[in-house]
Structure formats: structure tokens, C-alpha cells
A and B are shown apart, each in its own frame.
Chain A
Amino acid sequence: MNKLIYLCTLLLVFSCEKQKLPELPESNDPMFGVDGTIDGQSISISAGTDDYYMQSEEFEFNNVTQWKGNLTNSENQFEFILSDGIIDVPNSTFDLSDVDYIGLTEVPSQPLLQLSKDDLTNGEFIQSITWIVDGEAYSNQGPLVIFEPGEYTICAEVTFTDQTEASSCSDVILGYDKNAKGELKFIVGQNNRLLAFFDTPEYEIDHVEWYYNDSLISANKVNLSIEANTNTFDLKAIVHYSNGVVRERSVFVNKLVTTNFIQDLTAFENQSNVSWDFKLRMNIAFNGQHYTAIESTAQATQLEIISISQYGYNANGEQVLLIKGNLQAPFYHQESQSEVNANLTLSFALPYK
């Protein structure tokens, strides 16, 4: 009997399965915030206090990837946007953690592209041009004007003076670095011989995919020499430069009326030196005042990086960097249309790839 009691007791005690509590996350200090002054106003905010929340997302701006961190509540907003760079090199990578400074930029006040029929080499033979930008007709009268950096597909629907029509599309990079340059040029010679080539030998070309009316006719020649068997045709070259740049350049050719052509529009993408490659744009709305970062080229007015580290994943499942830095730079104060000084310590999130 006594042994039975013992056994029952032991069974009672040890039969209780011991389970583990789920671990509770550790408390921490705010991760994202802005401290300092702007235009004499003291700022000290952080995500998680006063309803401030750090929103981060990746988005496309004129076909170029942007990464945004937005520290905001219902009243105020601190927006940080980093632009992609090296966009003419497919699948390029850039280790942001290696940088010590990130330059500030802004939407240019001067156009990055301004293009009319008169800018074309055969403009005198062109009656009108309808511009199609990224599939949408450019409605403004006059020249095509683009202020915002981006990679645009620009199509020119041309009506020549002889009332013939033609169109050609090119991918044009505006406001970002072009790491290889070169305009597709062509010559229609005797016996309908077509020569196509690039006029910038300083950028070494690895190979070119040549398309004749969208049909691949050559994949390994840099220059093209063929007999054109149609009176008009589209000639497209996908150029693979040795430095990794891949660009698409197109022309429209009329071998019978040689003046009725549409030249390579990428020739016009270098009208501005503006580069948003890995530049940061900042927009601040604080206490009813609005401030925008100003393009800065001097290191002293760039964001000095304290640290860049992996933070985690945002609500969209994107990996997020925690970027900490100091900034002493002028900002444009929209209400007074004047420059004001800002001295800020920033901790913000960017879902940089």
C-alpha cells in the first residue's frame, strides 16, 4: 500500500509535462528618429512615440527603383528617398554599407530633356512629331520637356513633309549616370547596302544584337552590314558594352527617301549632368512648414553616414537597412521660398536591396 502511494505520488509529479513559455521579445529603445534643428526649430521624434511610424517601401519612379523611408504621424512627415543607380547595367549591385556619405538631390528645376523636331538632324523634313512617353501621348504643345529623372521609353510618331509617317521608340535615361554612350548611326549605300555602327569607340562594345523589323538578324557583330530588302524598316540594336552596360538603340530607315528617317533618340539623353544615382531626397513637413533638401555636391552638406546595418523586414517583406547619419545642409523652405539650415541626426529605414 505504501509503495503504491509512493508510486502514485511520483507519477503525479513527474507525469506533468513541463512546457516552455514562448519567449518574450526584449524591450529596446526607439530605432528610427530625427533629432536636431531645422530653421531654428528643435526636432526630437522617433518611431513609436507620439504615433510616429516608420513606413518603408520600394517603388518605381519613372521606371527607376526608389527606396523610401517615411517617418510620419498624422501631422508631420520626414521623408527620405534613395534613388537607384547604375541603371544601365542590368542586375548591378551596389554595397551601400561601403559609403561614407550620401549626397542629397532634388527634382531639377531645369529640364533634363527638351526635344523638338528642330533638334532632329532631319527636322526640316519633318512636319510634326507626336511624342509618346511611356505609352502616353505627350499632350503639351511644343517640344517634349522632361524634368524628372527616369528611364523613359520615348516614341516619336513623325509625319514627314511628304505626308509619309513613321515612328521609332528608344529607351532614354534622364537624370542618371550613363556608363556607356554611343548613338546608333546608319548609312544606306549603293545596292541597298545598309551599314550600321556606333560613333563612340571609347566605350568598348562586347556584342550587339541586331533586329531588322523586330527580327534578329545578327547577334555577334558590332557593326552591321546588310542588304536592306525592304524600302522602310526599323533597325534596333541591343548593345552589350564590355563594362556591363546594355542599351537599346533604334532608328527608322527609309532607303528610298533617305531624309525620312528617325534618328536614335538616345542621342538626346545627355542634355543635363544631373545624376540621381544613389542620391537621397528629403522632404520634411513639420509644424505646418515644408522643407526640401537641396542638391549638394560638397561633402560637407551631404549625409555623413554613422552606420548602415541590416535591420529586418518591413510589412511588405522587404529587407530593410537601418541608416544612421548626421546632416548639416541647407533646405529649401517652401513657405518662405528661402534656404534654411538644418542640423539633424537621422535614423531611418530604407528597404534597399
Chain B
Amino acid sequence: MSEENKHIDELFRSAAAQSKAPDYNPSFWGEMEAMLNDSKKRRKGLLLWSSFGGVLMIGLVSALLLTLPSEIKYSQAHLHLEAERIESHSNNYKANFSSTTSSEISNEVVVDFKKQDVLPLEKASTPVNLTSPRVAAPENIASIESKIYSDATLNELPLLPNNLMNGLKSADLGTLIATKQLPVTGPLNVNIELGAGVSQAYNDSKTKPSIFQAMLKVDYKVKRFTLSSGLGLSVEQNPGITVSQRAQVFGFGVTDFEHSLNYKTLVDFIVPVQVAYQFGKNTFGIGAQARYLATSSMRFESKENGQTTMADNLNGITTGLNPFNIDTYGFYERSVSQKLSLGVRVNKQLTSRISNEEFFNNLERSKVINGQVYLKYTLFNH
């Protein structure tokens, strides 16, 4: 348990012993209803937004990245979630926390509420500001009903709006509740991933294929599930792809022409869509990603009747390869810290990179598997 949590526990214990129940102001619930109605409309917008492709979403998120001020703001979705949480609690527990008792079990705080004390809330006249500290019901105003809140579940305690707090008498505040300045966590995370790994070669050779990947991802959390998409750049080196184009030209004799393209580097834009399940610090998931082959570097060789007539290193040519490809992958992540995760990913191509229309090859594989180790860093939560 962290130092911060110990401090909160202390606060809870003292608050539960000293604080009184705040006065109930029915206008608060009216204000909350207005806020909920507004957030329902925005939820529809979010769903519609989610239905667009990853590229569009990433474009907008990227634009958001560029324009977002540094201070933390609450999104309407967050407001909505918090409001839902408050509403949920209000339906089960009385807001007029009359009498409370608490007991400490080890490092956990026990807070009981009397259901019969729940009163309806009324509409508030002032807007709700949810930047107020997260408030746990004090033991002297909430009746104890043997509900155990661990450190983790503290996060699930209701947030009380500022005006709700303001509605409480100042005299009560001093003795009120234990408060906790919990980190603000929203459903959207913007992450950056940097990965490196090895790949199968399309053709067995002495070259060792490697892959490097950088990606900007946006996670949308729904309970333990996370839906992610983003935009990334993949650099595949020494893939072992050599494609050739040949022509047999008859004239005074016959000349066999061959253009051989030995790709050294492949650079793809990638748009992944993945779903993950979080279990504690561990996250498992699967995904698929669309690749667009943006550019390459290659060794070009031109031969006439087997004799090399020209050889050059060329850039930007994607001849003989399919520009669009689809991959699928599975991954495992483990949180190293609040913002940093370490993961492994195994990627399998679903479509072949090799286009067989004009160029031929003697490659042993048209689809390869690659494995990567990556670091994920959460740029910010929203």
C-alpha cells in the first residue's frame, strides 16, 4: 500500500470519527439530471464517432494531441460516468448520512450506509463542477452496512460535485469525511508504443530480418476491456524479399532481360484496431492492423543474358509488392508503472506482401510472422 493510501486511510479514520452528515439540498439532483440528459446525447455522438475508421479517428485524436492544453480537463464522457456513479449510489444509499460507524480491518476501511436514509435529490441551480476532491462517506454521517472498501475500491467511491460540497455546512466540512485526492482516470488513454523484434524472412537467407515499430494509440476503456486504435510506422529491415521481372526479347538472337529487386527496407503506415482484456496488471489482447507500404529501399540489378549491366540502390519503389496488407496479432502487456507497460506481440500477416502480377519470385513464404517486444507509455489520460 502506498504512502498516499496510508494517508487516506488515516483521513478516513479521523473523518469517520468526527464528521457530521451534510445537509441535503434537493436541487443537486435536478442539476445532475440535466447533466445526465446532456451526456446521453454526447454518448450517441461518441458511438457514431467510434464507427468511423481508425484513420479518421486517429486523425482527430492526433489533432487533439496537437491542440490540447497541458492542464487536465474533464470530458463530457467523464462527467457522464461520474454522474452515473453518483446516481447509482444515490439510488442505494441515503445522501443524508445521519449516523455512521466505521471499523478498520487491517488496511481497509469499512463504511456502512443505511439504505432507509436515502432521500431524493432535487435539482440544483448551479452547474456542477466535478473537479472537487473525491469524497468518501464519513462514518459519522453514513450508516455502516458492512461494506468493505479496499484501496482499489476507493476509486469507486462517488465523487461529490463542488456545489454539493458547498451545500454542506462549513462547520460540517471540518469534521466531514475523509477525502482523497485520487488520480483522475478517464476512459481514453493516449499511448505511444515503441517496439522492436525479429521477423521470419520471406526467403531464407543469411540476412536477419528485423522490425521496428512506433505507434500512437488511443485506448478506450470499458470496464476491463479496452478498445484501441491508432497510427503507426513500421520499418522492416532485410525482409529477404527479392522479386524479379523478366523479358525474353527476340531479335537477331534472343536476349533475356531480368530486373531484380532486392528489398532492404520496407516502411509501412499501420492502422491497428485491437481489443484487450485487463486482469490486474496484465493485459491480453488481439488485434488486426492495416498496412500501407509507403516507401522502401532496395538493391536494383539489371541483367542481360545473366550478365549484370546495371546495379543501383533505389528508394521509394514498391514494385512487385502489394501496397495494402492486413495483419493480425496477439499481445500480452504488463504494467510496469502507472504509465509504462512492457509487452510482447506476435504478428501474422493475413495477406501477402508479394504481388504476383508482373513480378515473380522464388520466395519460400508469402506471409511471415514477426515477434516484437514493445514499451507502451501513456502520454495522458482523458
Residues of A within 8 A of B (CB): 2-3, 6, 9, 12-13, 16-22, 24-32, 46-49, 52-56, 311-312, 314-315, 349
Q: Give the nearest-CB partner of B67 in chain A.
A: A2
Q: For the complex formed, measure the closest distance between the CB of A68 and the CB atoms of chain B, giving whole angstroms.
A: 13
* Cβ contacts under 8 Å, A25 to chain B: 247, 249, 255, 257
Q: Are A48 and B295 within 8 A (Cβ)?
A: no
- The secondary structure that dominates the B interface is strand
Q: Could you pull out 30 A-B pairs where Cβ atoms are within 8 angstroms?
A: A2-B65, A2-B66, A3-B66, A6-B66, A12-B233, A13-B267, A16-B316, A17-B315, A19-B315, A19-B316, A20-B317, A21-B261, A21-B300, A24-B246, A25-B249, A26-B249, A27-B248, A29-B250, A30-B250, A31-B251, A32-B252, A47-B250, A47-B251, A47-B254, A48-B248, A48-B250, A53-B252, A54-B253, A315-B252, A349-B252
- A13:B65 contact, CB within 8 angstroms: no
Tell me how far the C-beta of A3 lies from the nearest C-beta in chain B, rounded to whole angstroms. Answer: 6
Question: Which residues of chain B (30-66) have a CB below 8 Å from chain A?
Answer: 62, 65-66
Nearest CB in chain B: distance from A186 CB, A: 54
Cα of A204 to Cα of B156 in the assembled complex, Å: 123
Instruction: Collect the chain B residues with CB atoms within 8 Å of residue A27's CB.
Output: 247-249
Chain B residues within an 8 Å CB radius of A20: 317
Residue of B nearest to A19 (CB): B314
**B382 part of interface (Cβ distance < 8 Å):** no
- Kindly provide the distance from the CB of B303 to the nearest chain A CB, expressed in whole angstroms: 11
Return chain B residues, CB-CB under 8 Å to A2: 65-66
Is B294 interfacial (CB-CB < 8 Å)? yes
Contacts of B247 in A (CB 8 A): 24-27
CB-nearest residue of chain B to A315 = B252
Residues of chain B at interface, number, CB under 8 A: 30
Least Cβ–Cβ distance between B370 and chain A, in angstroms: 21
The A contact surface, by secondary structure, is loop
Contacts of B325 in A (CB 8 A): none
The answer to whether A54 touches B252 (Cβ under 8 A) is yes
**Does B78 lie at the interface of the complex (its beta carbon under 8 Å from any beta carbon of A)?**
no
B152 in the interface (beta carbon within 8 A) = no
Contact of A16 among B252, B254, B259, B295 (CB under 8 A): B295
Q: Which residue of A lies closest to B269 (CB)?
A: A13
A31 vs B251: C-alpha distance when bound (angstroms): 6
Contact A48 B316 (CB under 8 A): no
- Which residues of the other chain, A, contact B245 by a CB distance below 8 angstroms? 24
Instruction: Provide the bound-state CA to CA distance between A198 and B362, in Å.
Output: 80
Q: B105 in the interface, Cβ–Cβ < 8 Å? A: no
A24→B257 contact, CB < 8 A = yes
* In contact, A9 and B314 (Cβ under 8 angstroms): no
Known pairs A24-B257, A31-B251; A9 contacts B233 (CB<8 A): yes
- By a CB distance below 8 angstroms, the chain A residues around B62 are 6
